[in-house]
Structure 1
Amino acid sequence: MAKLSLKQKSWLVSAHIAFAALWTGAVLSMFLLSLRNTASDKGDALYALNSAINLLDDYIVIPAAIGSVLTATALCWGTNYGFTKFYWVITKWILTTGLVVFGTFWLFPWGNGAEQIASVEGLQAMTNPTYAFKAKGVLVGTLVQAICLLIIVGISVLKPWGRRAPGMPPQKNALG
């Protein structure tokens, strides 16, 4: 792929920042709703909070995470950043991949499960150990995600750790 022009890079960076901001803001909102969820005193409110958490996840977090990964990939491919030239880029990839995996296989199912239990049991869900586990998972999981996303933002701005040392030339083996 040819390198991006300065204008193309600027647009792509802008899109990347917008997706990251949406992702971070939605996760922070999910955390606050989860925190409020712990003090619900009405069944309808409990269900509404769980439903709102899932709406944020389905319609903002997931598309924003996908957009963030796609724009990051295009930036790495179309600029001098590359995928492995800088420690800060590698670190962002590792953290982002971890967030996507955690969100997909744990946080998303916990949120859906909590909503389903609250829709059936109402306020009685607060005494259900399965609901308590899933709701606590969403609360702690969104807090961890928010902290990681803020760390990623900090890494993006500060670009610590610099460039990786160029690789050593390939060694010839005894046969050749």
Structure 2
Amino acid sequence: MKKLSPVGMKWLKIVHISLVALFFGGIMSSLALNMGISLATYDDTLATYKRIVVISDSIIRTGAVGTLLVGFVYGFLTSWGFFKHRWVTVKWILFVGQTIIGIFVVDKLMLANMTLLETEKALALTNPEFLHNQTLRQYAIYVQVAVTVFILCISVFRPWKKKKQAVAT
């Protein structure tokens, strides 16, 4: 399969960094909004949840899907591959895991709480299921932030690289 040119690699890196920034920025925005929910008034909580849904649907999802697609381009059209370097493989595993947590935990809890807010109105704020979902969602977002920072560290430090063989003297 044909590999990307050096200029193509630079453009791919620009797209990759932009999508990761979108993804991580969305997660951080969602975290900030989630931390700011006081659950004191229904209208404020509903408005915040609506903002969180918009961020999740348009910013985080765009960044995640885009990053995943760019990862496939890196894997297939560059010399990086998927399994050639252990640090790349670890990044892939973590990112896929993080995406699964985002879709099947964070989004599910967010949508469940949004449904409770729309059906129960102000009573949702004292509903044990709503409060439990809110707490779990908060912890899941902390995990997502930590995983994203760890992936960033892996990208910069590239641990588990093969050491250059010592030159015989």
Report the TM-score, using the length of structure 2 for normalisation: 0.91
Aligned-pair distance for 1:135?
A: 1.1
Deviation at 1:82, TM superposition (A): 0.9
CA distance in structure 2 between the partners assigned to 1:150 and 1:6 by the alignment: 27
Matched pairs, number: 163
The 5-angstrom pairing of residues 1-176 of structure 1 reads 1-37=1-37, 39-163=38-162
By how many angstroms is 1:123 displaced?
Answer: 3.5
Displacement of 1:101 in angstroms is 1.1
The 1-side partners of 2:159 and 2:13 are apart by: 18
- Which residue of 2 is the match for residue 173 of structure 1? none
Q: Which amino acid aligns with 1:12?
A: L
Distance 2:73 2:13 in 1: 10
Moved more, 135-144 or 60-69: 135-144
* Contact 2:23 2:64 (C-alpha < 8 Å) held by counterparts: yes
Distance, in Å, in 2 between the alignment partners of 1:73 and 1:53 is: 28
Question: How far did residue 163 of structure 1 move?
Answer: 4.2
Is the 2:30–2:55 Cα contact (8 Å) retained in structure 1?
yes
Is the contact made by 1:92 and 1:152 (CA closer than 8 Å) also made in structure 2?
yes
* Distance in 2 separating the partners of 1:133 and 1:18: 34
Q: Where do 4+ consecutive residues of structure 1 move more than 2 Å?
A: 119-124
User: Which structure has the higher relative contact order (CA within 8 Å, separation 6+)?
Assistant: 1
Consecutive unaligned residues in structure 1, runs of 5 or more: 165-176
Cα deviations by residue, 1:81-137 (Å, 9 ceiling, x for unpaired) = 111011110110010110111111111111011112123334432210110121112
Contact 2:42–2:125, Cα closer than 8 Å, also in 1: no
Q: 1 CA distance for matches of 2:89 and 2:143?
A: 20
> In the alignment, residue 70 of structure 2 is paired with which amino acid?
T
- Rounded to whole Å, the distance in 1 between the matches of 2:17 and 2:110 is 26
| Distance in 2, Cα, partners of 1:29 & 1:121 | 26
CA displacement, residues 20-52 of structure 1 (integer Å, 9 cap, x when unaligned): 111111001111111111x23211001011111
| Runs of 5+ unmatched residues, structure 2 | 164-169
What amino acid sits opposite 2:147 in the alignment?
Answer: C
C-alpha RMSD of the superposition: 1.4
Instruction: Report the secondary structure of 2:113's partner residue.
Output: helix
Between the aligned partners of 1:114 and 1:89, the Cα distance in structure 2 is: 36
